A = this chain, B = another copy of it.
Amino acid sequence: MDALEAIMTRRSAREYAARPVPAGTAEHLLAAAMQAPFAGNEEPWHFIIIDDPRILDSIPAISPYAEVHTPAPLAILVCADLQPPKGAGFTVQNCAAATENLLLAAHALGFGAAWTAVYPDPDRMLGFANLFSLPEAVAPFALVTIGYPAARPPPVDRYREDRVHRNVW
């Protein structure tokens, strides 16, 4: 898929088809995620690939917004390193850029995907930290569910001229 087309037509998946994704899908998407820019010398992210059905089933209890997107055959928990060598000031934005790459790659490859925010919601963060016994310096940032979409939402033009300024506010 053309890059501009991927960006302009990507929508959040709402429902997944009951169909597994091919082996290697998560790694393929993570290669795209890790191409996002980051500040400093060290990538401030970790990723947990979730394809164990028992774990996938336990997620809606932690993150209610994820429920509308289930059942998904695959999810990726994007995690933020809170102690990177140059400080964590840019960690959230770096992880967000990686998550956006992941969503675009999924769409371009014919999958549907949806970004469920975790950080900075304290309940969801605690839920995922407990579920995976995350180290203290690692924060769950976002849950991305992935699968073949049951339906493809039509593209929506989100351009807002009132948000665009030129040389002056």
Of listed A34, A37, A105, residue having the most chain B CB within 10 A: A37
**Residue in A103, A134, A141 with the greatest tally of chain B CB atoms within 10 Å:** A103
Cross-chain contact A165 with B43 (CB below 8 angstroms): no
On chain B, the residues within 8 Å of A90 by CB distance are 117
| Count of residues in A whose CB is under 8 Å from the partner chain | 69
Whether the pair B37, A103 counts as a contact (CB closer than 8 A) is yes
Provide the bound-state CA to CA distance between A46 and B123, in Å.
30
Interface string of A117-130 (1 = CB under 8 A from B): 10111000000000
Is the C-beta of A96 less than 8 angstroms from some C-beta in chain B?
yes
Within 8 Å by CB of A160, from B8, B34, B108, B121, lies B34
What is the bound-complex CA distance between A46 and B169, given in angstroms?
A: 9
Could you write out 22 A-B pairs with CB less than 8 Å apart? A1-B3, A2-B108, A3-B5, A3-B6, A7-B32, A8-B35, A10-B35, A12-B37, A30-B159, A30-B164, A31-B159, A43-B160, A43-B163, A47-B163, A48-B165, A48-B166, A89-B121, A92-B93, A93-B93, A93-B95, A96-B97, A132-B168
